[in-house]
Amino acid sequence: MAPRSCPCGLPTPYQDCCGRFHRGEAAAATAEQLMRSRFSAFAKGDEAYLLRTWHPSARPARLGPDRKMRWVRLEVLESTGGSVVHAEGTVRFRAHYVERGRVGEQEEHSRFVRYDGRWVYAGAL
């Protein structure tokens, strides 16, 4: 049986895609890569990774993910900046979920910045 594709939407197995970021083996090279890895962390329930990749000025003390919500699909709609040569960038995305048997979606335009040399989530625009 072939490994399942990563929750972030790329056709790469989770272990080789966002899993390496979650395990701390690599850091996201772009803002979009970080956003995708954060979506995968929500899908996998990896609260520690989400908190590690949140800018300290806006980071909550804890998340306490909703176990009744399952994140199922991600669409990246647009990104600006956020490359290996930028210090900040934005990603607009639509995240699809199922909550108590009902499908839903959340659209957000997120801001990412470099902090201590790594990309972090700085909040919604």
Cα torsion 49, 53, 56, 62: sign:
negative
Q: By the 8 A CB rule, do 14 and 6 touch?
A: yes
Q: Which residues pair with 53 in a beta bridge?
A: none
Give the tens place of pLDDT for each residue, 5-61: 999 999 999 999 999 999 999 999 999 999 999 999 999 999 999 999 999 999 998
71: left (phi over 0), alpha (psi -120 to 50) or beta: beta
Reading across the β-sheet that carries 102-115, which strands appear in turn? 69-81, 88-99, 102-115, 118-124
Give the tens place of pLDDT for each residue, 60-117: 988 877 788 999 999 999 999 999 999 999 999 999 999 999 999 999 999 999 999 9
CATH number of this structure's domain 14-124: 3.10.450.50
